[in-house]
Structures are given as structure tokens and as C-alpha cells.
């Protein structure tokens, strides 16, 4: 299989050029103005899948953005691997902070800079090129492969669930492989065995029917901005624990075994502090940084808007104040229950003088794998061959909403095999993907198929 590595090297320029074409399409799912770009991106991807020799390539319409599917069947008795990924991306904002434009891929220091480079176009395209590497060989593939590539992951995958349910038999599989996560460090190949879930809420407090002069009326009406700040402040206590009643009831504590595994990881707190650019790290009292990021739930304001925010001073009492807020959840928290408790609690905390509007956005269930079984062993072997180093099993604080459903619907293990590096600026300005990881990712995926075939046999 050094052949694959050779093939990747020989085709380096073309593999990059194709990825850059993919990255040039602004398939932003959060912005309805980019609907045509999203469709164009789906069509582009389908053409590439046809070119590498996959069958059954379809751009399937949904009530939202299309799902691209394809497959390659070798034998009914062979195991079937389903590959999932997303071709939609986050908006590029703030655009002024990009060194090179978000949709004009630019190579610097062995990295390609572009929106979606790591999340998730670069990693989706690794799979396409791994299939090309396999299918051009006489030997071909030792397993059946199916692909499901969606265009709505960044908005919570609202139409993928019905799509998967309707196509359950057609997509039936023995394992699901997803490359939409990262590695613990550059030299530390990683399998991600846990993700956090999410509840996203928008809170609006309304006071006076219009903005008011803060001198004429100040002190006679409750200011919704002050009231919102007071309410938000009460959502955490002095230990930075979330005060919503019952919030921690379903939180599974880290096991001793998990604690040991985490402690053996080559984690450098000082590097991490510098990466995030703070003077001092902080969070829930009595927990380590990795425990806080992987095993503990959060409550964070994502956006806060009220009153006058322009230049200089304008004396005004705002008529309303809005906060957008996310809670990251861990096993076994239930998003529906957390949302219900949150809403009840915010209404209870809000002063009588303001009207409260609460709106829920997309959510996700938390997930933890049972990392035993043939697929995890196959992944370890493939990573070790490609990287020359045994992988570590890690968790991640991010969310991929559809993961738990895959496991349930197909009764199949989900393997998160990610190649993003720390600091890759996902969802931020200057997102990048390391081009060496792109090639090692292709090689790993191409090798994985042999190990899955062997292990499943």
C-alpha cells in the first residue's frame, strides 16, 4: 500500500487543484442568499464522484439543501462502509480579518487557507481521492462503499434525519466513517470517541415600547439591557457551575479509566493558553482543561445586542435586549429536557417589568462511542501504518448532530476519523487545512478499507 502513498504523491498537484475548486464555491448554508452556490456545489461534487468511478451518483433534493449520494458495490457478503460528510460551510465573517479571501484558496506554510478547508470540504475530498486511489487499481475495493454528503450540517442537519429514515434500506451499512473532527496534535493520529451535544437559545427582553431618553426617563422604567445582564449573570454561580435546577442530574462523571487515558495524552496547557490567546484559562471549579472541554457541559453567550453600539455616547434606554446562547451537553443529558428547564428558569429569573421571548434553534444530542470492536481496531491499524504511530482515542467538545442517529438507525458503529489540526480556525477567519494531513488522510482512508475487510471477516 506504499502504492497509495506514491499515487497520492504523483497526483499531488491535481489533488490540490481539485480541492481548491471545491473550496472556491461559497456553499454557505446559514445564508439563504447562497442557495444557488449550495446547489452548484452539490452538482460539482456529484461530477467528481462520477469521475472517480462511483455508481448510483445522485443529487437528492430535500426540503432544504440537496444530499449527494453514491456507492460502489463489490459483493453482497462484503461489509458495507457508509461515508458521511458535509459540503456546506460557515459564513466567512468577519471578512476583513482574512489574510487572503475566504473563497480564494491560498497556500502558505504547507497549508491551504479557505473557508471549509478543514470543516469539512478538505476532509470530504480526502475520501473522494482515497476512493479514486482504490478504484484505479485492478484490486479495487474489498468492501462495499456508500456515500452520503449533506449540505446542512452547519445549520443542524434539519432535513437529513427524514432523508436517512426514508432511505434506511438503501443506505444500510455495517459501519459509518466520518472525517469531520481533528487530531490531538500534528504527530498524534486520533480517533474521536465522544462529542458534546447542544441546545441553542435566543432570549429577548422587551421593556418600553420605544427607545427612551435616558435622562428624561432613566430610573423610572426597568432597562431590558440591565435586566438581561442580571438574568444572564445568575445562570452561573461563583464556581462557574450552571445554576439551572436539575442541569447536572444526567451528567455522567468521567470514569477512572477515562481520567487515566486523558492524563496520558501529551497535553500542554501553556500551548493551549497561547492558542486561545488569554492571560489565564478559566472554567468550572475543580476540573482540568480537558475535562472541561470534553466531559463537562457549558452555558455560553454567543451574541449580545442592545441599545446604542455606534461611535461615541448616545444617551438612550433601549426598548429591547437580545442574547444568543449555547449550552454544550454531555452524555446522558437530553436536549429537550435541558431546553425546557432553561426556558422555565429564565422566565422565573426575569423581572416582572420585562416581557420575555424565548426561541430555540437547532440542537444536537451528546454522543459517546463504545470504542471496542473491529472498526476501531481497523482504524488504529490504518492510522498506525500511515502515520507510523499508534493513534490515541480522544473526545471533542464540538457537535455533529447526525452522529447518534446513524448509530441508532443502522445499528452500526460510528468511526470519527479526523485530520484537522489544533488551531485550524474552524468557523473563524483564516481557516486552514494542513496539506500533509490531506495526503495522510487520503492514505489512511485508502488503507482503512483493507483493515475493515480483514477485521469484519
Based on CB atoms, which residue is closest to ligand BES, 342 or 367?
367
Rounded distance between C-alpha atoms, residue 112 and residue 287, angstroms:
36
Q: Is 400 in the site for ligand BES (CB under 6 A)?
A: yes
Based on CB atoms, which residue is closest to ligand BES, 229 or 265?
265
Residue pair 360/201 in contact (Cβ under 8 Å)? The answer is yes
Find the shortest distance in angstroms from Cβ 195 to ligand BES.
Answer: 6
Nearest partner of 364 among 409, 412, 398, 413, judged by Cα? 398
Cell numbers 438581561 correspond to 228
Binding mask 344-373 for ligand BES (x = CB under 6 A): ------------------x-x---------
Q: Is 181 in the site for ligand BES (CB under 6 A)?
A: yes
What is the grid cell recorded at 370? 463504545
Rounded distance between C-alpha atoms, residue 21 and residue 266, angstroms:
36
Based on CB atoms, which residue is closest to ligand BES, 119 or 385?
119
Name the E strands within 282-410.
300-306, 316-317, 320-329, 355-364, 367-368, 392-396
Find the shortest distance in angstroms from Cβ 200 to ligand BES.
Answer: 8
Q: Report angle CA 196, 200, 202 to the nearest 5 degrees.
A: 160
Based on CB atoms, which residue is closest to ligand BES, 426 or 440?
426
Find the shortest distance in angstroms from Cβ 89 to ligand BES.
Answer: 9
**How many amino acids of this chain bind Mn ion (CB under 5 A)?**
3
Rounded distance between C-alpha atoms, residue 40 and residue 409, angstroms:
30
Tally of CB atoms within 10 A around 148: 25
Rounded distance between C-alpha atoms, residue 180 and residue 172, angstroms:
21
Based on CB atoms, which residue is closest to ligand BES, 224 or 398?
398
Find the shortest distance in angstroms from Cβ 416 to ligand BES.
Answer: 8
3-state helix, strand, coil in the chain (%, to 5): 35, 25, 40
Find the shortest distance in angstroms from Cβ 57 to Mn ion.
Answer: 22
**Interface with Mn ion (CB under 5 A), residue from 180, 258, 431, 443:** 180
Based on CB atoms, which residue is closest to ligand BES, 52 or 195?
195
Based on CB atoms, which residue is closest to Mn ion, 12 or 427?
427
Rounded distance between C-alpha atoms, residue 169 and residue 178, angstroms:
20
Residue pair 192/396 in contact (Cβ under 8 Å)? The answer is yes
Task: Point out which span in 32-40, 44-52, 76-84, 150-158 binds ligand BES (CB under 6 A).
Answer: 150-158
Nearest partner of 433 among 86, 95, 415, 425, judged by Cα? 425
Q: Is 154 in the site for ligand BES (CB under 6 A)?
A: yes
How many angstroms from the chain centroid is the CA of residue 184?
A: 15
Rounded distance between C-alpha atoms, residue 440 and residue 445, angstroms:
9
Q: Is 401 in the site for ligand BES (CB under 6 A)?
A: yes
Based on CB atoms, which residue is closest to ligand BES, 156 or 413?
156
Length, in residues, of the chain: 457
As beta bridge partners, residue 84 has 148, 178
Task: Point out which span in 7-15, 177-185, 316-324, 352-360 binds ligand BES (CB under 6 A).
Answer: 177-185
**Interface with ligand BES (CB under 6 A), residue from 18, 71, 119, 443:** 119
Task: Point out which span in 39-47, 148-156, 202-210, 444-452 binds ligand BES (CB under 6 A).
Answer: 148-156
Task: Point out which span in 96-104, 152-160, 232-240, 336-344 binds ligand BES (CB under 6 A).
Answer: 152-160
Q: Is 399 in the site for ligand BES (CB under 6 A)?
A: yes
Based on CB atoms, which residue is closest to ligand BES, 184 or 205?
184
In the DSSP assignment, the letter for residue 154 is: G
Rounded distance between C-alpha atoms, residue 222 and residue 424, angstroms:
44
Q: Is 398 in the site for ligand BES (CB under 6 A)?
A: yes
Q: Is 182 in the site for ligand BES (CB under 6 A)?
A: yes
In the DSSP assignment, the letter for residue 354 is: S
Cell numbers 460539482 correspond to 44
Cell numbers 486523558 correspond to 262
Q: Is 180 in the site for ligand BES (CB under 6 A)?
A: yes
Based on CB atoms, which residue is closest to ligand BES, 86 or 451?
86
Choosing among Mn ion, ligand BES, none, which partner's interface includes residue 16 (Cβ < 5 to 8 Å by kind)?
A: none
Choosing among Mn ion, ligand BES, none, which partner's interface includes residue 178 (Cβ < 5 to 8 Å by kind)?
A: none
DSSP 176-216: EEE--SB-SBTTB-EEEEEE-EEEEEEEEEE-SSS-EETTT
**Interface with Mn ion (CB under 5 A), residue from 119, 150, 431, 456:** 119
Based on CB atoms, which residue is closest to Mn ion, 71 or 120?
120
Point out which residues bind Mn ion (CB under 5 A): 119-120, 180
Point out which residues bind ligand BES (CB under 6 A): 119-120, 153-154, 156, 180-182, 198, 362, 364, 396, 398-401, 420, 426
Amino acid at each position: 500500500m506504499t502504492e497509495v502513498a506514491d499515487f497520492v504523491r504523483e497526483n499531488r498537484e491535481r489533488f490540490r487543484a481539485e480541492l481548491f475548486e471545491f473550496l472556491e464555491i461559497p456553499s454557505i448554508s446559514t445564508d439563504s442568499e447562497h442557495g444557488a452556490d449550495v446547489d452548484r456545489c452539490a452538482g460539482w461534487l456529484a461530477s467528481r464522484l462520477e469521475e472517480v468511478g462511483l455508481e448510483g451518483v445522485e443529487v437528492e433534493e430535500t426540503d432544504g439543501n440537496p444530499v449527494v449520494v453514491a456507492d460502489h458495490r463489490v459483493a453482497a457478503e462484503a461489509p458495507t462502509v457508509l461515508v458521511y460528510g458535509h459540503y456546506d460551510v460557515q459564513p466567512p465573517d468577519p471578512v476583513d480579518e482574512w489574510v487572503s479571501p475566504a473563497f480564494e484558496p491560498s497556500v502558505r506554510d504547507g497549508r491551504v487557507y479557505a473557508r471549509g478547508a478543514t470543516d469539512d470540504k478538505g476532509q470530504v475530498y480526502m475520501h473522494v481521492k482515497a476512493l479514486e486511489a482504490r478504484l484505479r487499481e485492478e484490486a479495487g475495493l474489498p468492501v462495499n462503499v456508500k456515500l452520503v454528503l449533506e449540505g446542512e450540517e452547519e445549520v443542524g442537519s434539519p432535513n437529513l434525519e427524514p432523508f436517512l429514515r426514508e432511505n434506511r434500506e438503501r443506505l444500510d451499512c455495517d459501519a459509518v466513517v466520518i472525517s469531520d473532527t481533528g487530531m490531538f496534535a500534528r504527530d498524534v493520529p486520533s480517533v474521536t470517541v465522544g462529542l458534546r451535544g447542544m441546545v441553542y437559545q435566543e432570549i429577548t427582553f422587551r421593556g418600553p415600547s420605544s427607545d427612551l431618553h435616558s435622562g428624561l426617563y432613566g430610573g423610572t422604567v426597568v432597562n431590558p439591557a440591565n435586566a438581561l445582564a442580571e438574568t444572564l449573570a445568575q445562570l452561573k454561580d461563583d464556581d462557574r457551575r450552571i445554576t439551572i435546577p436539575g442541569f447536572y442530574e444526567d451528567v455522567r462523571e468521567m470514569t477512572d479509566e477515562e481520567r487515566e487515558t486523558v492524563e496520558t495524552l501529551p497535553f500542554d496547557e501553556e500551548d493551549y493558553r497561547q492558542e486561545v490567546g488569554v492571560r489565564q484559562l478559566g472554567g468550572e471549579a475543580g476540573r482540568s482543561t480537558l475535562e472541561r472541554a470534553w466531559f463537562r457541559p457549558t452555558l455560553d453567550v454567543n451574541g449580545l445586542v442592545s441599545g446604542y453600539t455606534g461611535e461615541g455616547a448616545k444617551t438612550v434606554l433601549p426598548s429591547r435586549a437580545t442574547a444568543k446562547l449555547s449550552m454544550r451537553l454531555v452524555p446522558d443529558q437530553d436536549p429537550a429536557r435541558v431546553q425546557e428547564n432553561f426556558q422555565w428558569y429564565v422566565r422565573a429569573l426575569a423581572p416582572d417589568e420585562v416581557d420575555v421571548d424565548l426561541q430555540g434553534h437547532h440542537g444536537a444530542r451528546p454522543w459517546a462511542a463504545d470504542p471496542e470492536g473491529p472498526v476501531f481496531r481497523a482504524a488504529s491499524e490504518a492510522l498506525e501504518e500511515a502515520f507510523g504511530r499508534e493513534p490515541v482515542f480522544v473526545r471533542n467538545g464540538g457537535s455533529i448532530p447526525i452522529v447518534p442517529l446513524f448509530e441508532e438507525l443502522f445499528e452500526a458503529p460510528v468511526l470519527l476519523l479526523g485530520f484537522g489540526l489544533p488551531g485550524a480556525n474552524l468557523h473563524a477567519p483564516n481557516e486552514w487545512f494542513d496539506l500533509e494531513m490531506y495526503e495522510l488522510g487520503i492514505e489512511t482512508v485508502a488503507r482503512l478499507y483493507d483493515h475493515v475487510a480483514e477485521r469484519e471477516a
